[in-house]
Amino acid sequence: MQHQQCLIIDFGSQYTQLIAKTVRRLNIFSEIVPCTITWEEFQQRNPRAVILSGSPWSITRPDAPVLDPRILAAEMPMLGICYGMQLLVQAGGGKVIAAKKKEYGRARIHIEDRDSIFRGLDSEEEVWMSHGDAVQTLPEGFRRIARSDNSPFAAIMHESRPVWALQFHPEVANTPHGAIMIENFCDIAGFSLDWTPTSFIESTVADIRAQVGEDRVILGLSGGVDSSVVAALLHKAVGEQLVPILVDTGLLRQDEAGQVREAFQQAFGMELIVIDAASTFFERLAGVADPEYKRKIIGKTFIEIFEAEAARYPDARFLAQGTLYPDIIESVSFKGPSATIKSHHNVGGLPEQMNLELVEPLRELFKDEVREVGRKLGLPGLLVNRHPFPGPGLAIRIISDVTREKAELLQRIDVIFIDELHEAGLYDSTWQAFAVLLPIQSVGVMGDERTYENVCALRAVCSTDGMTADWTEFPHWFLKRVSNRIINEVRGVNRVVYDISSKPPATIEWE
C-alpha cells in the first residue's frame, strides 16, 4: 500500500525527528531526507507536502546548507521552520541578517491572522525560539501573520501559494500548541490519515512474503522490544519458515531466556532456539574493563556463535534485523553521522559475513511506533512494554572487568529494583530503569560488624525516544524501600546510590 507522504527535509536540526513523529501521530506517513536530496530523488518520492527543518547553521554563512531551488518552488504545501523559514525568505529575494539580539527559550507571539495554520488558537501563544538570525525584509508575495517582541516576522505566509514559515519551533513540547499548528498544516495539505499500526502490519506482511517467498529466515532474538516485534511480524508473514535464535550470553536479565521462550510459545506457539553460550562469553571477557573493547568482544563472539547455529539451516537465504528508523536517519545525515559516543551492538549480526539478504521490517518506525505495532500483533506485555536493554547486556553495567559472579550479583540487584517498580505501579511511567555495579567498595556496618563490600547505583530516566532524558524523581519512600531490600537480600552489597544525571550531559547507560 502506497501512503501519502509528508517529506521532512533535514538541515541538521536536533529537533528534526520530533517533526516527523508529530506528523506521524496524525496517522500520516512522514519521512526524513537530507537537504542534499536531488530534484530527481524528490520527484520520485512524490510527497504531498514538505516541511523544512531548523538547523544549527546560520544562513548568512557562505557554506550554509541549501536546497535545490526547484524543490523550494514546487507547487505543493510547504512549511519552513526556523532555518527553513530563513531559507524560504532568502531564496525568494528577501533579506536575513544576524539578529542584534538572539532569541532562545520561551517567547510570546502575537497572532495577526488566526486562519489557516493558526486556526483554533488564541491571539497570543507561547512558543519556543532558538535562533540567532532574523528576517529583515520579506520576499515578494509573502505577508506577516505573527510577531513577537523580538521577532517582527515570527510567522509568515504566501498570499497565493500554500507556503507558511515559522521562526519558532512548533515541534517541541515547549510550544504548547505547536502540534495543533502542524496538524492545521497537514489538514490544509489534505492527507488521507491512513498511516496506522494496522495498515503498517498489513503492508509489511505482504512485503515480507513477496521478498522471502518459500525460503527460510534467520532471526537473532534478544527478547527486547525490537527483535520481539520483528519475530511476531515474520511469524505472521511466513510462519515456520522463521528460525528464531536466542543466544544466551550470560549477560541477560535474570531468567530472561526462559521467560522469552515461554512468552513466544504461549502467544504464538513459536519454538525458540536458545543457545547457552555464557561460558564462552565470560572466558573471552576475562580481565577486560574497557567498555569499547567489551562491546567488540561481545559482538564478535555473538556472530561466531550465531553463524555456527545458522549454518545448520543451509536453505536459509535471509537474515532479519530490528533496524529502526533513527538508525537509517543517522546514516544519511547531510553532514554524516554524529560523533561516536559509543559503538552499538546489533544482535542481528553482520549480513556481509553471512552472505544472507537482509529483512528489516521496522526500518520505517520509531521506538514508540514499534511498541504500538507489537500490541496490535498480540505480543504479551512482558515483551512489548519492557524497558530498553543494551545489546551487550549487563557487561556495560558492570563498570570493571566482567565475571560470572559479578553478572549474577547484578542480576539479583536488578530484579529487586524492577520488581519494586512493578509493585509500586511506577514501571510503565518510566522510560528505562536499571542497576549498575560500580568498581568500588565501601565500609559498612552489619550486625555490629564492619563490612567492606560493593556499591551499586540505580538509574531511571524519563524520555520519549532516548535522545534526551531526565532522571526520574521517584518518591523517597520508594528509593528507601528498594535500597533496604538490596542491602538486606543481596549478599556483597552494603551501599546503594541513585543517579540524578540527565541526558545530556550524561548518557543513559554508564558505558
The helix or strand, by DSSP H or E, that contains position 157, with its residue range, turns out to be strand 155-158
The string of DSSP letters for 40-79 reads HHHHHH--SEEEE---SS-TTSTT-----HHHHT-SS-EE
Backbone angles phi, psi at 361, to 5 degrees: -70, -15
Three-state secondary-structure class, residue 13: coil
d(CA 32, CA 244): 31
Between the CA of residue 244 and those of 306, 313, 500, what are the distances in Å?
A: 11, 12, 38
Place of cell 520561551: 106
Residue 341 near residue 295 (C-beta atoms within 8 A): no
User: DSSP string of 277-288?
Assistant: -HHHHHHHHTT-
Nearest alpha carbon to residue 52 among 34, 12, 79: 79
Query: Length of the chain in residues, anyone?
Result: 511
Residue type, 114: R
Say how many C-beta atoms besides its own lie within 10 A of residue 444's C-beta: 15
Among the options 169, 235, 345, 387, which is catalytic?
Answer: 169
- Which triple of cell numbers denotes residue 34? 537530507
Q: Which of 171, 364, 369, 420 is catalytic?
A: 171
Kindly compute the dihedral angle of the four CA atoms of residues 147, 149, 152, 156, in this order, to the nearest 10 degrees: -20
Other C-beta atoms closer than 10 Å to the C-beta of 109 total: 25
Taking each continuous run of H as one helix and of E as one strand, the counts in the chain are 16, 18
Q: How far apart are CA 470 and CA 462, in angstroms?
A: 5
User: H-helix or E-strand containing 164?
Assistant: strand 163-166
| Given 82, 345, 369, 509, the catalytic residue | 82
Q: Which residues contact 166 (CB under 8 A, 6 or more apart)?
A: 79, 80, 81, 82, 85, 117, 146, 154, 155, 181
Q: For residue 271, count other CB atoms closer than 10 A to its CB.
A: 12
Q: Please indicate whether residue 169 is annotated as part of the active site.
A: yes
Task: Give the whole-angstrom CA distance, residue 111 versus residue 109.
Answer: 6
Grid cell, residue 406, equals 559479578
How many angstroms separate the CA atoms of 275 and 46, rounded? 46
- Inter-residue contact 74 to 39 (CB < 8 Å): no
- Best CA proximity match to 15, nearest among 67, 62, 57, 56: 56
Question: Rounded CA gap, 397 and 510, in Å?
Answer: 7
511 part of the active site: no
Is 171 marked active-site?
yes
22 alpha carbon, distance to own chain's centre: 14
- Annotated catalytic residues are 82, 169, 171
